[in-house]
Amino acid sequence: MASSIVFVSWMVFGLVMATNSTTQVEAARAFFVFGDSLVDNGNNNFLVTTARADSPPYGIDTPNRRPTGRFSNGKNIPDFISEALGSVPTLPYLSPELKGDRLLVGANFASAGIGILNDTGVQFINIIRMYKQLKYFEQYQARLADLVGYGQAQQIVNNALVLITVGGNDFVNNYYLIPFSPRSRQFSLPDYVRYLISEYRKLLMRLYDLGARKVLVTGTGPMGCVPAELAMRSPGGQCAAELQRAAALYNPQLVDMIHELNSQYGSNIFIAANTQQQTTDFINDPAAYGFTTSKVACCGQGPYNGLGLCTVVSNLCPNRDAYVFWDAFHPSEKANGIIVDMILSGSANYMSPMNLSSLLALDTKTRT
């Protein structure tokens, strides 16, 4: 589950020469995605792990009604950003199709189950933790340089949009995973949040060192309000107070840290999306956004359809667009689309220091 990206449209000008030369592609902006299941486009399909979404009914609302590895009934957040910018979706980095001209579009390095910390999601065993995602980003850049040359590869990366969504699992699949978890014995909640922020800062600085210059960072959603937490912690249907407290501590500190980094680098490299506020809006008034319910997942079982995995034997709603949540943790395709609308054009209540459209309007030639 849950927590900067810009890949502008790419156009292939089929200048295929009889000499076996590479097709020439003009990529206005590449797009790179890092993080967890909220943005995983299918990397975990290629791993031996239980953190997978490659079985029905996942993908039920895709054109071919087949699962893609996205934790959604259809599109996820990266897909909607790609669509808004007129680009094709990025491929998972582990996909064998990611080669040749498809490298110019960017890549998705995200992996369901991971967190900021390397000990988050240990129950999923074989997942691509953040340090490995960044290693893959280095590998990608070497492959890109082989295709277009080092200078052009560096320019593509510098001009790219990067999305990173990570942090939610560090609470639900670490600190609060079991009573008296190792991390909860090691840290009080305020100290744990400060530790997470300090570790996240290192990840963002590493992205900068690797060439990222336009980075969209999403906070956690209202973690205590997802169907899984309602089912396990709140029989009365109220958002779980302790997880809500965690989100309320974490998200403002994340924004402060991003402002500090921008000041350190002397430029608005990072922008923060307040996905907690957007999803809270859904939860408080689902009808205002065309939803019927914000408590019950479309796919699942048990109270609020919040227990266990979404499988072919789960309860499945007939109208996915009526539900804020697709499964126990993840938004529906419709909710993902509304979240991206907020990311693109939201006010200061949702985006800091600016929205994505404003970020993309800045000079793309900025260099260090």
Tell me which residues are annotated as active site: 37, 327, 330
Q: Which residues contact 23 (CB under 8 A, 6 or more apart)?
A: 12, 14, 15, 16, 100, 101
In 3D space, the residue among 137, 135, 47 whose CA is nearest the CA of residue 90 turns out to be 137
The residue type at 142: A
Tokens of residue 41, six digits: 């486009």
**Is residue 76 within 8 Å of residue 209, measured between CB atoms?**
no
C-alpha to C-alpha distance for 268 and 252, rounded to whole angstroms: 18
Give the SS3 label for residue 120.
coil
Handedness of CA 144, 148, 150, 156 (dihedral sign): negative
Helix (H) or strand (E) holding 107: strand 106-108
Burial class (CB in 10 A: 0-12, 13-18, 19+), 34: buried
Tell me whether residue 303 is exposed, middle or buried, using C-beta atoms within 10 angstroms of its C-beta: 0 to 12, 13 to 18, 19 or more: middle
Q: Give alpha helix (H) positions in 180-240.
A: 182-186, 189-209, 227-233
Q: Which amino acid is at 120?
A: T
Q: Among residues 173, 229, 164, 241, which one has the least CA distance to residue 203?
A: 164
Burial class (CB in 10 A: 0-12, 13-18, 19+), 48: exposed
The DSSP code sequence of 229-275 is HHHHH-TTSPPPHHHHHHHHHHHHHHHHHHHHHHHHHTS--EEEE-H
CB 199 within 8 A of CB 144: no
Number of residues that make up the chain = 368
Is the distance from CB of 100 to CB of 22 less than 8 angstroms? yes
